[in-house]
């Protein structure tokens, strides 16, 4: 990898089974998700793919070797859903003060372990991105994340789920917190309205054409611009100039969310060697 290239990321997790249809149906019911056209269960950045294989046993021989950790916004609500699905608990839901988190582990039909985790404010308060003291009176050691206003928080939540495929990692009265592969942002209830005249949240993607096509298929409307220095073709602009660490330019597209916040997608254009 070059110095500017992104770190590797887990794109999906494959769970082998001799009865994939049964196992997939169990996960859909237990977690309240639905597999997409390719068979992936949407669980955050890394989807879960359940496939048939003839080189595995009917039941996991060492289920503790690999545990599926699923982070939820409300562990007690998730536990009630699991109870309704008739799961077998390996370790019932409990709050661990030392960790500042809720944990509970169930056994799926193939004997694999599924652990649900809710990270509370007590957990995050001890983490560097929230709790570290700035050095020398500056913010150099602080973490930064975006904040977007919403006049209708439930409407915003539906937009981010249905159009962008995002579920909040944390929920509190008046606010939703989202974590992505890199970085986080929050949407908060506000009586104010964004101006929408500049990009408020920027997303760096690997393939802007594919991302635009995917989001359009979910109903996202991309803006068209025709001004000196900025012209879009089918919603995508070629933008010259970029921060030196990110390339020589970028291919970019913009859309508004349900609350009038302007989002930008950017795909860096590598410098010619």
What is the mean pLDDT of the segment spanning 205-220?
94
Q: What is the DSSP string of 123-156?
A: HHHTSHHHHPPPGGGSSTT----EEEEESSHHHH
Q: Is 188 or 72 the better-scoring residue by pLDDT?
A: 188
Does residue 230 register a pLDDT over 70?
Answer: yes
User: What rounded mean pLDDT belongs to the chain?
Assistant: 85
Residues shown for the chain: 273
246-257 per-position pLDDT tens digit: 556 789 999 999
Does residue 51 register a pLDDT over 90?
Answer: yes
Q: Which residue intervals of the chain bear CATH 3.30.720.120?
A: 144-188
CA distance 251 to 254: 11
| Nearest residue to 176 via CA among 199, 196, 152, 193 | 152
pLDDT score recorded for residue 247: 58
Token pair of 91 as six digits: 């370790």
Which pairs from 55-58 meet CB under 8 Å and 24+ separation? 55/16, 56/16, 56/17, 56/18, 57/18, 58/18, 58/19, 58/110
84-116 per-position pLDDT tens digit: 888 999 999 999 888 888 999 999 999 999 999
**Cβ contacts of 150 within 8 Å, gap of 6 or more:** 156, 187, 188, 189, 190, 258, 259
Output helix, strand, coil percentages for the chain, rounded to the nearest 5: 20, 35, 45
Alpha helices by DSSP H, 97-225: 121-125, 128-131, 153-162, 208-217
Q: Look up tokens 């921060």; give the residue.
A: 243
CA distance 52 to 38: 14
Which range has the worst mean pLDDT, 134-138, 198-202, 229-233, 255-259? Answer: 134-138
Give residue 8's pLDDT band: very low, low, confident or very high (50, 70, 90): confident
User: Could you tell me which CATH class the domain 12-122 is placed in?
Assistant: alpha beta
pLDDT score recorded for residue 269: 81
What is the mean pLDDT of the segment spanning 230-236?
92
- Assigned superfamily of 201-269: 2,3-Dihydroxybiphenyl 1,2-Dioxygenase, domain 1 (3.10.180.10)
Does residue 4 register a pLDDT over 60?
Answer: no
Q: How many CB atoms lie within 10 A of CB 8?
A: 7
CA distance 235 to 260: 18
Architecture per CATH, domain 144-188, reads as 2-Layer Sandwich (3.30)
| Nearest residue to 82 via CA among 11, 25, 31 | 31
pLDDT score recorded for residue 132: 40
Q: Is the pTM of this model over 0.85?
A: no
**Cβ contacts of 6 within 8 Å, gap of 6 or more:** 182
CA distances from 248 to 192, 209, 245 (A): 37, 18, 9
pLDDT score recorded for residue 134: 45
pLDDT score recorded for residue 128: 55
145-176 per-position pLDDT tens digit: 889 999 999 999 999 999 999 999 888 889 99
| Nearest residue to 255 via CA among 192, 149, 146, 163 | 163
Q: Which residue intervals of the chain bear CATH 3.10.180.10?
A: 12-122, 201-269
């Amino acid at each position: 990898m070059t110095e500017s290239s992104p770190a590797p990321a887990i794109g999906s997790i494959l769970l082998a089974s001799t009865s994939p249809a049964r196992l997939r149906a169990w996960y859909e019911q237990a977690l309240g998700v639905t597999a997409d056209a390719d068979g992936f269960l949407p669980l955050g950045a890394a989807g879960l793919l359940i496939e048939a294989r003839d080189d595995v046993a009917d039941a996991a021989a060492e289920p503790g070797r690999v545990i599926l950790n699923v982070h939820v916004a409300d562990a007690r609500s998730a536990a009630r859903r699991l109870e309704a699905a008739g799961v077998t608990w390996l370790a019932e839901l409990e709050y661990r003060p030392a960790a500042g988190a809720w944990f509970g582990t169930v056994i799926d039909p193939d004997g694999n372990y599924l652990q649900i985790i809710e990270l509370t404010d007590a957990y995050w308060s001890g983490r560097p991105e929230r709790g570290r003291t700035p050095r020398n009176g500056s913010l150099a050691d602080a973490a930064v994340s975006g904040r977007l206003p919403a006049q209708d928080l439930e409407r915003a939540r539906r937009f981010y789920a249905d159009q962008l495929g995002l579920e909040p990692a944390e929920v509190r009265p008046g606010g939703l917190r989202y974590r992505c592969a890199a970085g986080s942002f929050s949407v908060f209830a506000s009586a104010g309205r964004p101006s929408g005249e500049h990009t408020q949240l920027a997303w760096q993607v690997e393939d802007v054409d594919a991302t635009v096509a995917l989001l359009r298929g979910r109903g996202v409307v991309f803006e068209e611009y025709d001004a000196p220095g900025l012209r879009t073709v089918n919603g995508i602009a070629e933008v010259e100039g970029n921060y030196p660490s990110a390339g020589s330019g970028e291919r970019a597209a913009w859309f508004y969310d349900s609350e009038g916040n302007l989002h930008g997608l950017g795909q860096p254009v590598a410098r010619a060697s």
